[in-house]
Structures are given as C-alpha cells and as structure tokens.
Structure 1
C-alpha cells in the first residue's frame, strides 16, 4: 500500500534585500519547501491574508515596516505564526524584543544552511503535534 506523501511545508521569506531574499528562497526550495518571497512587511501581511504558511522567515532591518513591527502586526492578525527573525545587525535589545514577541528563533546573516536546517527540524517537529 502506498503511503501518501505529506504536504510540503510552505515558507514565506520577507527581506528587502533582493539577493538575500532570492538566495534564502533558493536554499529553502532545495530542501523541499514551497517558498514564496516578498520584499516588505506590508506585502507579507497581504500575502498572508490570501495564503496560509507554516513558517515566516523575516529580516529585522527593513524600510517602512521593520521586522519587529511586522512581528507585532503578525501577533494581532496571525497570532499562531512560526517566525524566524534574521538580521545582519543583531543586538541584544532586538533579540530580547523579538523573542518576547514570540519569535521562534533569531539568527544572524549570513544565514548558515546547517543552522537553518537544525532550526527548521525543531520548528516542524514541535508544530507537527
């Protein structure tokens, strides 16, 4: 008897830096995820109103709506979202704020694929119950 394959997990990448957004999206797609990407928090919120995702990977430093503000908006409209915050300008203050707002993890750029894989396993293991 064939066992149906599980639906691949859907990930939304939010980053204003085009090269970072495309690179991360490609890495995640190679790992078997369905990946969409947008360039800012406003586009992400619009996308999420139309499509459910299993995980959001967002940059912190973005113009118009930074990652912390985006996370606050997510908590209002999509409170059960799994979020990984990424930044090239990590600091203790933004780390603490992101984690207090419910981010699952906070990692520094450049993103290391092995670190990301480990986090993804943890997220999907904890949320698959």
Structure 2
C-alpha cells in the first residue's frame, strides 16, 4: 500500500462493463487498458506493469478467482479489486484470502471505487 495508482487494467468479459469503467476512470485521469478475459489480461501483464487490476469474478475459461491466484503468483505487487454481479459470502471470502484488496458488487459505483482506490494509495 501507499503507492499512487496511475495505471489500471480492467478485466471483464462484458464489453459494456469494460467500456463504462474505462470511460469513468479515464475521466478521472487514470491510464486505463482493458482485457476481455483472464488469458488476455495475463498476456498484457507480462508486457506492461499496472498499478491496479479490476477484475470480474464470473468469466469463461479462467474465472476471476483463478486469475487472482495467477496475478499474485506472477505479479505480487499488483493490487486487485474484484467485481461481481453474482457474488456471495463464499466467493468474497475466497477472493480476500487470495489477496484481493477489495470486493465490489456490480453495478460499480464510481464513488465506491474511488474510495477503495484511495485506500490503496494510503
């Protein structure tokens, strides 16, 4: 913790979610990239370091929890916020145990997201 967030990678199989979050965060001054799935995101992370990953939990091929595990194994300094429309207590606990900084329910509210991002920076 204690580092300024400059670059954000949004990972979500729903295009509208990626576009919406990208626009909101870009307007706030962040450099934002996006990926449609975990495999694409891992490939991106192997080339470009980011300050923060915001990832959906429910994705095809590799779900967000498996993706979170991969991030922490290969990019341990990267902060991760998990987002979901379907999550329950079990997925929340698993995400937090795997090292997620926070777990936010969709639809993501900009004020809530900014508050979590401020906590990461402090």
Give the TM-score normalised by the residue count of structure 2: 0.94
* RCO comparison, higher one (Cα < 8 Å, 6+): 2
Contact 2:56 2:83 in 1 (8 A): yes
Q: RMSD of the alignment, in Å?
A: 1.1
For the pair shown, the structure with the greater C-alpha radius of gyration is 1
Aligned length: 119
Work out which of the residue numbers 95, 98, 102 in structure 2 matches 1:101: 98
Work out which of the residue numbers 53, 64, 68 in structure 2 matches 1:67: 64
How big is the shift at 1:8? 6.8
* Structure 2 gap ranges (5+): none
Cα distance change, pair 8–95 in 1 and its aligned pair in 2 (3 A): closer
What is the aligned partner in structure 1 of residue 116 from structure 2?
A: 119
Work out which of the residue numbers 49, 59, 73 in structure 2 matches 1:76: 73
Contact 2:54 2:83 in 1 (8 A): yes
How big is the shift at 1:46? 0.3
* Structure 1 gap ranges (5+): 1-6
What is the aligned partner in structure 1 of residue 34 from structure 2?
A: 37
